[in-house]
Amino acid sequence: MRDKNCVQLTTEFLKKKFDESEYFTDKKSEKDYRFEHSVRVANIGKEIAEKEGMDSDAMVIACLLHDISYINEFKTREEARNHGRYSAKIARPFLEKIGMEPEVIEDICYGIAIHVDDEADFPGERTVFAQTVGDADNIDRFDAYRIFENLKWVKYDEMSLFEKREHCEKVLERLESYKSLDFATETGKKMWIEKLDYQIEFYKKLLLQVKNSELR
């Protein structure tokens, strides 16, 4: 029988695993980001689940655990690409311990496993629930905070004026192309478009500012 405090227990489990992680020992900012990202994804997943008539507690749990394998160091790109499948392996025994129903465990684990590249290392069904785990993750990855992260990652502040202009133009082109991506639910798609439009508006304004930095 599912524990009535399953969401709270999952949150505590995630915190404990992160706090005990040897990899995160001297990486507080990375640990904080990964935990905060997981919570944001859970909140997005909950909103989608509630509006689409899915099991919202199960969705929150799936989203909280979708990146739990980041407690380990990924030494190769291949290992990083497998992080969804690794996370599912960590999640399964915990889900069994808190009494989640077998069919729900399968849905949660499959959704976690496929959220990176749509592939799992065990048989499963790409249900709307399972696909929504990845949808919620993608929606958070294109929200406001990622604008800051991405500009920091590319060292925008160190670019020449020409490079800044070129970067903004490339990002705008890429963002527009992402609008055609499929989502499992209408709610998820709507949230996705809203996030993309927000970023597009930001980069349009940034590009305009860059252009205005030159005399015409």
Give the pLDDT score at 215.
85
Give the per-residue pLDDT at 206: 98
pLDDT digits (tens, 9 = 90+) for 130-170: 999 999 999 999 999 999 999 999 999 999 999 999 999 99
Instruction: Give the pLDDT score at 216.
Output: 78
Q: Which CATH superfamily is domain 6-137 in?
A: Hypothetical protein af1432 (1.10.3210.10)
pLDDT of res. 73 = 96
**Per-residue burial over 167-204, b = 16 or more CB atoms within 10 Å of its CB, e = otherwise:** bbeebbeebeeeeeeebbbebbbebbeebbeebbebbe
Task: Tell me: pLDDT of 1 over 90.
Answer: no
User: Which amino acid, one-letter code, is at 77?
Assistant: R
Q: Is the pLDDT of residue 190 over 90?
A: yes
Tokens representing residue 120 in the block: 């799992």
Report pLDDT digits (tens) over 68-107: 999 999 999 999 999 999 999 999 999 999 999 999 999 9
Residue that is written with structure tokens 């970067």 in the block: 167
Residue percentage of the chain with pLDDT more than 90:
98
Go through 36-45 and write b for each residue having 16 or more CB atoms within 10 A of its CB, e for each that does not.
Answer: ebbbbbbebb
